[in-house]
Amino acid sequence: MSGSVVGMTNSTFPTERPAVTGPVFEPGDPGYDAEVAGFQTAYTHRPDLVIGARHAEDVRATVEYAARYRIPIAVQATGHGLSVAADGGVLISTRRMDEVRIDPVARTARVGAGVRAEALISAAVAHGLAPLNGSAPSVGVVGYHLGGGLGILARTFGYAADHVRSLELVTADGRLRVLGPKDDLFGAALGSGGNFGVVTAMEVDLFPITEVYGGTLVFGSALVEPALEAWRQWTVDVPEEMTSAITMMTMPDVEALPEPLRGRYLATINIAYLGSAEAGAHLVRPLREVGERLTDDLRTMPYGDTHSIYRDPPFPHAYTATNALLSDLTADASAAFLDSTGPEAPVAAVAGFRHLGGALRRPGPAGIAVDHRDAAYNARVITAPDAPGVRDCHAQVAKTLAPWTIGHHLNFLYGAGDWSGRAQTRAGYAADTYARLRDLKAQSDPANLFRYNRNITPSRTGGLDG
């Protein structure tokens, strides 16, 4: 297959439909809007055709159909990480592919393309096991791993992508392949999102974890700066069994929140520690010594309750975000970051840092496309997408952190249009990794059918250079 993807309008879209068992939707059909809707509401796919895949054969048949007519393909399970919305083309909705199979002896789980983290956690804890999930229970497991997977226990176990046993991948030629660590496309897919095809299922490692010591420490506006500085110094030498983050934001003034939190600028420190409550309490003592906490709910909790550590919003909403992987977090860097994102900044932001290092620094399996493992911190800024000055805000944050920035984490880049251009994508990888991925893209998807993502363009003629 060679040549570029041909843009189509509704009037030129083929009348033939792929032979699938799942529902098929076109614009205007009942159910179309519900099928294309995702967790991210700022940007919505508007494809010419939607396939509600029920199993891998539905996906394979749809990709084969799209390749025949040179139609670009988008894929969505939950829509959390939507970065480029499809305008036309085919959308494969995988939400129905929600099977979870646990092998308690091998300590693995086989998950379908539509499985959410909460379903995998629930299935695993029934066997005294736990996956390497992120902070939000409604995130899709497959997409999370394909973006690298920076989890709540990341400093202890490393990137979730490093703990994938196998992938079932439908490639641009319409073939369903079962891939393992010795296959080039296996490593290329893990860390590059959906650039190399549609993952219909994957097998991931589980771990014998039943409890975590964790929760939140929340400090009021007068203690935001001291809390950030205390956390920054504290992270320098904590053990890798401790994974943490700090977030600064002005809380909404709504009745759903406890009165002490409403409308206030706060700092929240999130803690997840694999160890005893006594050891955990000893480790966090320097943080508690900052001063009065509006919330302090650190405790030993069942693994199934770890969603409470970050309390990510459970409802769909609109957002855009940028992030930077940092070589260090100096006092000057953190102070400048607060100035750029704090309550006096022109754009309201949810801003903060995640502590990296530990097991994240270790080399991953050969070929895994997750780079910049020497990063010590990840800085994140989340804003409303339509706020006046939001692009200037993101640009200012990038400028502020530039002396320490070594790359981006692609799972935490949310935007649209030129915000998701090649420069940002390229910065997510080391130069040799990016070149290798472009060569593999040219071999496996030269027409760039899988382009509604943080796109890696083919290295040779035959693809869209978008």
At 246-257, the pLDDT tens digits run: 999 998 777 777
Q: What per-residue confidence (pLDDT) applies to 10?
A: 56
Both 298 and 368 in a single domain?
yes
Q: Is residue 164 part of a domain?
A: yes
Dihedral of CA atoms 120, 121, 123, 124 in degrees, nearest 10, equals 110
| Residues whose CB falls within 8 Å of the CB of residue 338, separated by 6 or more in sequence, listed in order | 224, 225, 228, 248
* Same domain for 257 and 157: no
Q: Does 3 score more than 50 pLDDT? A: no
Q: What percent of the chain has pLDDT over 70?
A: 95
Listed in sequence order, the residues at least 6 apart from 30 whose beta carbon sits closer than 8 Å to its beta carbon are: none
> Which CATH number does the domain housing residue 199 bear?
3.30.465.10
Q: Residues 178, 235: one domain?
A: no
Does the pLDDT value for residue 133 go beyond 50?
A: yes
Residue 27's pLDDT band (cuts 50, 70, 90): very high
Question: Which of 12-21, 225-234, 410-419 has the least mean pLDDT?
Answer: 410-419
Domain, as residue range, for 328: 211-426
Domain annotation covers residue 32: yes
Q: State the CATH number of the domain containing residue 42.
A: 3.30.43.10
Give me the pLDDT at residue 251, please: 84
Tell me the average pLDDT across 85-111.
97
Q: Are residues 276 and 406 in the same domain?
A: yes
Q: Among 178, 207, 236, identify where a domain stops.
A: 207
> Is the domain of 191 the same as that of 234?
no
| pLDDT tens track for 138-179 | 999 999 999 999 999 999 999 999 999 999 999 999 999 999
On the question of pLDDT at 7 being above 70, the answer is no
Q: What is the pLDDT of residues 280-334, one digit of tens each?
A: 999 999 999 999 999 999 999 999 999 999 999 888 888 888 899 999 999 999 9
Question: Is the domain of 239 the same as that of 200?
Answer: no
Kindly report the CATH number assigned to the domain that includes residue 330.
Answer: 3.40.462.20
Instruction: Judge if 55 and 135 occupy the same domain.
Output: no
pLDDT of residue 413 exceeding 90: no
Domains identified in the chain, total number: 3
**Residues 44 and 166 occupy one common structural domain:** no
**Three-class secondary structure of residue 67 per DSSP:** helix
Confidence of residue 466 (pLDDT cuts 50, 70, 90): very low
| Chosen domain end from 43, 73, 93 | 93
- Pairing verdict, β 176-179 and 211-219: unpaired
Angle, to 10 degrees, between the axis of helix 224-234 and the axis of helix 331-341?
A: 140
Which pLDDT belongs to residue 335? 95
Question: Residue 401 falls within a domain, yes or no?
Answer: yes
Q: Choose between 318 and 112: higher pLDDT.
A: 112
Does 461 fall in a domain? no
Of 163, 185, 207, the domain-final residue = 207
Residue bearing the bigger pLDDT, 254 or 458: 458
* Rounded CA separation 210/130 (Å): 7
Q: Are residues 261 and 359 in the same domain?
A: yes
Whether residue 18 is contained in a domain is answered as no
Could you tell me how far CA 256 lies from the centroid of its own chain?
A: 27
200 with 226, same domain: the answer is: no
Query: What are the counts of helices (DSSP H) followed by strands (DSSP E) for the chain?
Result: 13, 18
Q: How wide is the angle at C-alpha 412 spanned by C-alphas 167 and 150, nearest 5°?
A: 55
- The answer to whether position 458 is within a domain reads no
Of residues 4 and 315, more confidence is placed in 315
- Under DSSP, is residue 243 helix (H, G, I), strand (E, B) or coil? strand
Both tokens of 314, joined, read 């459970």
Residues 240, 366 within the same domain? yes
Decide if 169 contacts 179 (C-beta within 8 A). Answer: yes
75-91 tens-digit pLDDT = 999 988 887 888 999 99
DSSP string, 146-178: HT----TTHHHH--GGGGEEEEEEE-TTS-EEE
Residue 150 belongs to a domain: yes
Question: Do residues 330 and 181 share a domain?
Answer: no
* φ and ψ at residue 293, rounded to 5 degrees: -105, 135
- Could you report the per-residue pLDDT of 419-438, keeping only the tens digit for each? 446 788 899 999 999 999 99
Q: Is 16 within a domain?
A: no
What is the share, in percent, of the chain residues with pLDDT greater than 90? 80
Higher pLDDT, 408 or 386: 408
